[in-house]
């Protein structure tokens, strides 16, 4: 089957080998403030910087692990650099004493990925709401997206949809608002973002509320027809199951989404590989990701361009264990 399976964020296999080495290290706001009181702000930033350096090294290890296991797409964790977009703490990336080592590690990871044709995307946190009418929420969203794009730039990823930054619209029309009103506000705020965001951003169908696949495609079409801006739609099978469109057939809907994956508004002359999501819900909690997908439950074959296969980010909890099982099933090994 002409498709690529992608790992999201962490490797369960590597963590089983050495949890301390291959797990990401976070830091809460409370922990940072406690360190400031205990050891001083400079020491707190030094500790944060050390954790971030560990995280980018872990990212490089995961990328190498993906390549060794024929997993040729990776979704970067949005928590590689914790707290740096928390505006209440007033921490700048330039404050990090290890920033040059961090940049070297990220650039090295990018060179490895490029050498072995592994693509990288991201899925910034759920609080990103570019369509919000709340100015503070929009300001925080833009700040977060710009920072995530700067990490992509340090890795050396192209500023286009081959390195997608995928978000939910996270907003349903209220009162007498129409889809077009939401799209206008979304686009006006997108225009305030850096070029690395503007040229990479994609949207995803949601598991409840207004933005199912039908409405995501209408949203994308509106922006293209009015502004000539192409906003690809990421198809998520579990979200579609929970929040279906008029036509329930996911394979058909995914193919519709695949036609939105072009760069620079070039139409069918410049199709790129779509990045979609595949998972399965828990029987007792349908919106929650299961550990694995059921035997034989493969992502559908989408053949818009045989040279541009769909990249399916596998969102199951078992991560690379689930991917390896899918690989064996698809190869007919089991």
> Angle formed by the axes of helices 29-39 and 41-68, to 10°?
140
CATH number of the domain at 277, please: 3.20.20.150
pLDDT of 269 over the 60 cut? no
pLDDT of 333 over the 60 cut? yes
Mean pLDDT (the chain, rounded): 95
Give the pLDDT mean for 236-263: 96
Domain that holds residue 247: 3-330
Sheet order of strands, 201-204 included: 233-234, 201-204, 165-168, 119-122, 73-76, 3-8, 310-314, 275-278
pLDDT tens profile 208-241: 999 999 999 999 999 999 999 999 999 999 999 9
Whether the CB-CB separation of 263 and 160 falls below 8 Å is answered with yes
Instruction: Give the three-class secondary structure for 65.
Output: helix
How many Å separate Cα 261 from the centre of its chain? 15
pLDDT tens profile 62-81: 999 999 999 999 999 999 99
CB neighbours of residue 181 within 10 Å: 15
Helix/strand/coil (H, E, C) string of 296-309? CCCCCCCCCCCCCC
0.85 exceeded by the pTM? yes
Number of domains comprising the chain? 1
H or E element in which residue 49 lies = helix 41-68
């Amino acid at each position: 089957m002409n498709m690529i399976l992608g790992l999201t964020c962490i490797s369960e296999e590597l963590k089983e080998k050495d949890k301390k080495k291959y797990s990401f290290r976070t830091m809460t706001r409370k922990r940072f403030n406690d360190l400031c009181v205990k050891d001083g702000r400079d020491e707190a930033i030094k500790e944060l910087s050390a954790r971030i350096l560990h995280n980018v090294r872990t990212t490089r290890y995961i990328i190498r692990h993906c390549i060794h296991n024929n997993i040729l797409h990776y979704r970067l964790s949005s928590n590689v650099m914790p707290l740096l977009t928390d505006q209440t703490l007033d921490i700048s990336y330039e404050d990090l004493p290890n920033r040059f080592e961090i940049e070297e590690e990220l650039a090295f990871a990018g060179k490895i990925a490029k050498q072995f044709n592994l693509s990288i995307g991201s899925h910034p946190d759920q609080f990103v709401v570019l369509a919000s009418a709340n100015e503070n929420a929009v300001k925080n969203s833009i700040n977060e997206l710009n920072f995530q794009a700067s990490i992509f730039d340090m890795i050396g990823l192209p500023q286009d949809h081959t390195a997608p930054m995928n978000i939910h619209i996270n907003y349903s029309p209220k009162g007498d608002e129409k889809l077009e009103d939401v799209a206008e506000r979304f686009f006006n705020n997108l225009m305030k973002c850096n070029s690395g965001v503007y040229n990479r951003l994609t949207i995803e169908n949601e598991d409840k509320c207004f933005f199912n696949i039908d409405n995501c495609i209408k949203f994308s079409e509106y922006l293209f027809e009015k502004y000539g801006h192409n906003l690809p739609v990421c198809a998520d099978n579990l979200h579609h199951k929970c929040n279906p469109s008029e036509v329930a057939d996911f394979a058909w809907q995914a193919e519709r989404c695949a036609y939105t994956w072009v760069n620079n508004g070039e139409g069918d002359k410049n199709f790129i590989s779509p990045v979609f999501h595949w998972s399965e819900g828990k029987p007792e909690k349908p919106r929650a990701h299961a550990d694995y997908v059921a035997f034989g439950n493969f992502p559908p074959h989408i053949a818009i361009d045989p040279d541009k296969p769909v990249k399916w980010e596998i969102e199951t909890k078992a991560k690379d264990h689930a991917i390896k099982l899918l690989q064996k099933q698809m190869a007919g090994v089991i």
